[in-house]
Chains A and B, each alone.
Chain A
Amino acid sequence: MALVSETDTGLGPRIHRVLGALPSWVLWIIVVLWSLPTFSLFVNSFRNQEAQRTTGFWQTQLDELTIANYREVLEPTIAGGLWDAILNSFAIAIPATVIPIAIAAFAAYAFAWIDFKGRHWLFIATVSLMAIPLQTALIPLLQMYSGGAHWTIPFFEKTITLFPDFNLAGTVTAVWLTHSGFGLPFAIFLLHNYISGLPKDVFESAFIDGADHFTSFWRLVVPLSVPVLAAFAIFQFLWTWNDYLIAITMIGANPDALPATIKIAALAGEFGIREHLLAAGAFVQAFVPIVVFFALQRFFVRGILAGSVKG
């Protein structure tokens, strides 16, 4: 469409010229459409109950605006304490982010730079686990956390305990343990992609200088991999912060340990008098991930790309 020359004056070329500017316009229309849902919820979260119920957000009057919704949502006695739930979300998301990073970094290093038999296949097997849906592991995991894991040896009928009953069901520990396990295959995949791409000479000269794998991991790989570690950290943090399935399965009905997602989902399930708090609640829950997202978007994008685009 940009091939139209200046001298063309017919109807067709003119349409072509208008269309040449179209991409920008279409893009911005899409951007507006894409932001509209979030924006409308944001405006609604500041409107009082009556206004939310009877008029659309574009009909907002100045005197309808209030921050009472936010105050009410955070107040422990009224909405079941979203503030407590936010703390629970942190208590889940932080360990569930830190632990897989450490474990996956070791494994990724081994897959990338330590020679051992069956390395290729073990790596492929590990990484292909990324596609397993969490649902397949949920029931046994919940059983394990609520009663331990026991195995009866066939033919001899002796039961031995493989995983003691730590009474983890209903606690945040069960949730972040589960997240740590499920996050590992992707973490290993992402970190391996990066770590295996580090220049070989660096390692060779380090080994010649007498460094062993432990030293080269600690002194070379960890400092050099900070960008990809950050990328995975953001990924996993957003994922665990926003998770609903694992939390509701592992915690269930223990009100003291519920994270924010479950609290606002419960609020949404009421369909009742507190519906005006829904918008504010959703924004309180989304505040942390949105801040993380905009502050660290560069790393986040890099993380997404690391696994998918080659060259």
Chain B
Amino acid sequence: MEKVLSTLWGVVIAIVASGVLFIGANKWFDLARKNWSWFSMVTGALISGAVAGVLAGNRNSIWQFTYEEGSSGTTAWLYVLIAIAAGAALGAVLSGTEGMTMRLAVGGGGGLVLGAFHGFFLAESSYPALQIVPLLAWPVGGAVLGYGWGMLAGKHQMRRAVDLATLGWLVGAWLVPSIGGGTRVEAIVALGLLGLGLGTRIAVTGAADYFRREEIALKSRATIFLAPAILFISVSLIIPTIRTLYLSLLDGRSVEFVGFENFVTIFTDPGIFKIDEWAFMFTEQLFIIGALLAAVGTVLAWRAAKARGNPPNPISMVLASAGAVALVIGYALNYFADPEVVEAAAGADGSAFDMLATTVVLIGFLLTVAGIVTSFITARSGGHHLDWSPSNAGALGVGVFFLFFGAFAALRGTIFNNLWWVVGVVGLATSLGLMIAVLADRSRSETIAKSLIFMPMAISFVGAGIIWRFMYIARPIQKDQTGIINTPWVWLGKISTEGGTGRVIFTIVLVVFAAALAYLAYRGLAANENGLATGSFLAMAPPVWLAWRLWEGSGIGGIVETENGFFADPIFFLQTSPFNNFWLMMVLIWIQTGFAMVIMSAAIKAVPAELIEASKVDGATEGQTFWAVTIPQIMSTIGVVVTTLIVLVMKVFDIVKVMTNGNFDTQVLANEMWQKAFTESNFGVGSAVAVVLFVSVLPVMYVNIRRMQGENA
């Protein structure tokens, strides 16, 4: 309790202090308008007080107040108070002085005295050992330069000369000589003449007239309102970021400059960036299926354009169809390349099949890409466009999504894991969020459902990680499973191997379900609603696969056969690479889907009802309305969701740290950075990883800036 109370007190004091500061600053600049001599007085007191405060309060810097051995600090307080009073007096007198000669005398003389006063109280270790040449050369040079600048600008020659001469004195008296070797007289001279320069500069400006005062009062407003925020952001964000860029070029202990060596270290570390097994992606099931979907999507887009009466150039359709055929053949070859299957069929080791399968899939993939690319080229050269509206692009989108999954299963290392996270979480959270938003829009108990799906947003990533660890529990094969996912998984495996009525009933249910979806897909295809067709077809995949494996009787996984009979074979979600990455992503998807849903739901409700009505009057079905009216209307909102999620996913840290700590090939950049910097204490490589992270969000930053400009214009 005591701790909380003291913190609360601290907060209250901080708030009161900043409130007083803020209001005080406002009142201060109000004075500029209302009462000039008061304003001058306060300003003088502040300047002199600030110098005294810094000197008296700072024991670390080379410039400080003289501390007597064993002094209680009373002298320091007295010094500060006298400095404030003297500054106030000087300001007040100066504001009441007319005539340039008098002003110069008062300002310069007062500044000199005040500066000397500060010099007198300077600590011995801060006395400058003045050298005559720089002491004269710098101010004189500054004065000449300033005068020339004023001449060029055509005004204020004197002011610029004093400005730069003062600055020159600062350099010549305080930066050039060594600090600590001088005498008290030198300190008094060095600070006194600095005061002379400042005082003269203020006096030269002349008494402020009405307009000048108004200007000061007005301009100061923006500064006062913005200064705290700018200061805070600079200190905690901008300057540290710049420093990280610098640290990434130094060695681990930030001593020696090593150029880009840290970045070389990163990109040659196979744990971070590993691409030598890229060819395996072509035998990855997800990759082949993804490419197939992309090919089919291209054909569908061609067909939709044709149905509208604009037969496009058939070349992209032909290429994509050929690609699809090659991919199907490749898939079959890949299946036979499975060592068990091959041994049974041909008695070979399967490497020839493997090679062949890789080549055929590669050809199919390239044909598909060529098909998609030509669809845009032919459109450019005046031909008819393929119909890439959202409904038709759906299959292509899902295909590309699968392609990424296949590719990232072959390209390993931290960087590809991070990209995989971006694709997986952004893709699934956005599409699930959209789907739920649409479903909830038609449901009566919308609020409760939405708030339950939204709830994980309130749970910490650490807590979510723990929650999902319980979901993913896998126990040794002899024991009963206690995890929510592994229990039904093992149970299904049992049904499949044991046979009996359970298997029959379950298979029939699945087949009926799949048949219903197949009918829907057919209807969608017939009515040229490709969104419906693709969706139903994709939804068919899990029940068909499950029914087939069930019926085949060799188990769907979940059961392993040993000499002693059948045993449970749970999925070790967090340990089995590379798809353990996906099971980690699930946690973030679980959290962020609610976020996507809330935003999309609001966007869907904001679509003007007249547009929906008009589309229905024109005879569009609900599906067509959704794809052709709603989706384009909420496209910018989808963009916001996607960019927000990309930024969030790029820096995912807690989930990985808590669930696997980057083991089992699940490392991500944020955790890599943390381990390198704070576990291995290598600030160079740690900063370099942070820089990689920083650079990878720059495109998103650019998109955000463009969007904001668009909105403000």
Contact B467 A133 (CB under 8 A): no
Contact B7 A172 (CB under 8 A): yes
CB distance from B711 to the nearest CB of A (A): 7
8 new A-B contacts at CB < 8 Å, known A114-B225, A158-B174, A244-B460: A37-B590, A95-B11, A102-B15, A116-B219, A124-B709, A153-B175, A181-B235, A297-B451
Residues of B28-68 at the interface with A, using a CB-CB cut-off of 8 Å, are 30, 58, 60-63
Segment at the B interface, from A69-77, A199-207, A222-230, A278-286: A278-286
B435-446 vs A, Cβ < 8 Å mask (1 yes, 0 no):
010111011110
**5 nearest CB pairs, A to B:** A181-B236, A242-B460, A293-B458, A110-B225, A107-B229
A127 to B228, CA, bound (A): 15
Contact B241 A27 (CB under 8 A): no
A129 to B705, CA, bound (A): 10
- Sample of 12 A–B contacts (CB below 8 Å): A1-B622, A23-B443, A102-B18, A106-B22, A128-B708, A132-B237, A135-B673, A139-B243, A139-B247, A164-B58, A242-B460, A244-B462
Of B11, B468, B636, most buried by chain A (CB within 10 Å of CB) is B11
Known: A107-B226, A292-B458. A38 touches B443 (CB 8 A): no
A141 to B244, CA, bound (A): 10
CB distance from B447 to the nearest CB of A (A): 9
Contact B670 A135 (CB under 8 A): yes
Write out the residue numbers on chain B whose beta carbons fall within 8 Å of the beta carbon of A252. Answer: 678
**Range of interface residues on B (Cβ < 8 Å):** 35 or more
> Which residue in chain A gives the minimum CB-CB distance to B713?
A120
A100-117 vs B, Cβ < 8 Å mask (1 yes, 0 no):
001110110111001010
**Interface membership of B653, Cβ < 8 A:** yes
**Interface membership of B570, Cβ < 8 A:** no
Write out the residue numbers on chain B whose beta carbons fall within 8 Å of the beta carbon of A241. Answer: 460
CB distance from B322 to the nearest CB of A (A): 34
Write out the residue numbers on chain A whose beta carbons fall within 8 Å of the beta carbon of B58. Answer: 161, 164
A4 to B513, CA, bound (A): 21
Segment at the A interface, from B369-377, B406-414, B594-602: B594-602
Write out the residue numbers on chain B whose beta carbons fall within 8 Å of the beta carbon of A129. Answer: 233, 237-238
CB distance from B255 to the nearest CB of A (A): 14
**Interface membership of A136, Cβ < 8 A:** yes
Residues of A13-34 at the interface with B, using a CB-CB cut-off of 8 Å, are 15, 19, 23-24, 26-28, 30-31, 34
Segment at the A interface, from B153-161, B325-333, B639-647: B639-647
**Interface membership of A67, Cβ < 8 A:** no
Contact A2 B622 (CB under 8 A): yes
**Interface membership of B476, Cβ < 8 A:** no
Write out the residue numbers on chain A whose beta carbons fall within 8 Å of the beta carbon of B356. Answer: none
Contact B221 A114 (CB under 8 A): yes
Known: A140-B244, A185-B233. A106 touches B228 (CB 8 A): yes
Contact A182 B237 (CB under 8 A): yes
A90 to B7, CA, bound (A): 9
**Interface membership of B494, Cβ < 8 A:** no
Contact A286 B460 (CB under 8 A): yes
Known: A106-B228, A238-B458, A310-B711. A31 touches B690 (CB 8 A): no
Residues of A176-196 at the interface with B, using a CB-CB cut-off of 8 Å, are 177-178, 180-182, 184-185, 188
**Interface membership of B456, Cβ < 8 A:** yes
CB distance from B438 to the nearest CB of A (A): 8
CB distance from B683 to the nearest CB of A (A): 6
**Interface membership of A64, Cβ < 8 A:** no
Contact A34 B453 (CB under 8 A): yes
A130 to B705, CA, bound (A): 11
**Interface membership of A261, Cβ < 8 A:** yes
A184 to B226, CA, bound (A): 12
Known: A95-B14, A264-B463. A44 touches B637 (CB 8 A): no
A162-173 vs B, Cβ < 8 Å mask (1 yes, 0 no):
011100000011
Known: A116-B219, A135-B651, A137-B241. A56 touches B483 (CB 8 A): yes
B452-484 vs A, Cβ < 8 Å mask (1 yes, 0 no):
111111111111011111110000000111111
> Which residue in chain B gives the minimum CB-CB distance to A51?
B482
CB distance from B182 to the nearest CB of A (A): 14
A122 to B654, CA, bound (A): 33
Contact A245 B654 (CB under 8 A): yes
Write out the residue numbers on chain B whose beta carbons fall within 8 Å of the beta carbon of A1. Answer: 621-623
A307 to B691, CA, bound (A): 27
**Interface membership of A131, Cβ < 8 A:** yes
The one of B4, B238, B602, B674 in contact with A249, judged by C-beta atoms closer than 8 angstroms, is B674
**Interface membership of A80, Cβ < 8 A:** no
The one of A36, A41, A144, A301 in contact with B598, judged by C-beta atoms closer than 8 angstroms, is A301
The one of A31, A111, A128, A130 in contact with B449, judged by C-beta atoms closer than 8 angstroms, is A31
A281 to B8, CA, bound (A): 25
**Interface membership of B686, Cβ < 8 A:** yes
The one of B179, B226, B449, B704 in contact with A28, judged by C-beta atoms closer than 8 angstroms, is B449
Contact B694 A90 (CB under 8 A): no
**Interface membership of A62, Cβ < 8 A:** no
The one of B3, B233, B523 in contact with A181, judged by C-beta atoms closer than 8 angstroms, is B233
A153 to B225, CA, bound (A): 30
A156 to B170, CA, bound (A): 12
Contact B640 A37 (CB under 8 A): no
**Interface membership of A254, Cβ < 8 A:** no
Contact A38 B598 (CB under 8 A): no
Write out the residue numbers on chain B whose beta carbons fall within 8 Å of the beta carbon of A156. Answer: 171, 175-176
**Interface membership of B113, Cβ < 8 A:** no
Write out the residue numbers on chain A whose beta carbons fall within 8 Å of the beta carbon of B530. Answer: none
Contact B236 A177 (CB under 8 A): yes
A161 to B689, CA, bound (A): 28
Contact A188 B647 (CB under 8 A): no
Known: A28-B449, A131-B704. A282 touches B466 (CB 8 A): yes
**Interface membership of B700, Cβ < 8 A:** yes
**Interface membership of A290, Cβ < 8 A:** yes
CB distance from A47 to the nearest CB of B (A): 11
B632-670 vs A, Cβ < 8 Å mask (1 yes, 0 no):
000011001100100100110110011001000000011
Contact A138 B677 (CB under 8 A): yes
Known: A131-B647, A184-B232, A212-B30. A41 touches B701 (CB 8 A): no
A45 to B129, CA, bound (A): 71
Write out the residue numbers on chain B whose beta carbons fall within 8 Å of the beta carbon of A135. Answer: 651, 653, 669-670, 673-674, 689-690, 693-694
Contact B30 A116 (CB under 8 A): no
CB distance from B649 to the nearest CB of A (A): 11
Residues of B2-16 at the interface with A, using a CB-CB cut-off of 8 Å, are 3-4, 7-8, 10-11, 14-15
CB distance from A250 to the nearest CB of B (A): 11
Write out the residue numbers on chain A whose beta carbons fall within 8 Å of the beta carbon of B465. Answer: 265, 268
A153 to B674, CA, bound (A): 31
**Interface membership of A208, Cβ < 8 A:** no
**Interface membership of A160, Cβ < 8 A:** yes
A292-311 vs B, Cβ < 8 Å mask (1 yes, 0 no):
11100100010011011111
Contact B701 A290 (CB under 8 A): no
Contact A24 B442 (CB under 8 A): yes
Write out the residue numbers on chain B whose beta carbons fall within 8 Å of the beta carbon of A91. Answer: 3-4, 7
A122 to B527, CA, bound (A): 53
Contact B455 A107 (CB under 8 A): no
A188 to B225, CA, bound (A): 12
Of A26, A98, A110, most buried by chain B (CB within 10 Å of CB) is A110
Write out the residue numbers on chain B whose beta carbons fall within 8 Å of the beta carbon of A242. Answer: 459-463
